[in-house]
Amino acid sequence: MKALTKASPTNCFVSFEFGVADADTFNFLDEGEIRKLEKTWTQQALPILDFFCAARYHTTEANGKRKSLKFDYNMLRFAFYRKNMELFIYHERGTQRVPLEDHVIFLKNQINKELIDKQQKTLTLKHIHTL
- Given a cut of 70, is residue 121 above it in pLDDT? yes
Listed in sequence order, the residues at least 6 apart from 122 whose beta carbon sits closer than 8 Å to its beta carbon are 112, 115, 116
| Contact (CB, 8 A) for 130 and 101 | yes
Contact present, 97 and 72 (Cβ < 8 Å) = yes
Q: How far apart are CA 60 and CA 34, in angstroms?
A: 32
Taking only the tens place, the pLDDT of each residue in 66-98 is 889 889 999 999 998 888 888 899 999 998 888
- pLDDT tens digits for range 43-56: 888 899 999 999 99
pLDDT at 9: 63
d(Cα 97, Cα 72) in Å, to the nearest integer?
8
pLDDT of residue 8: 61
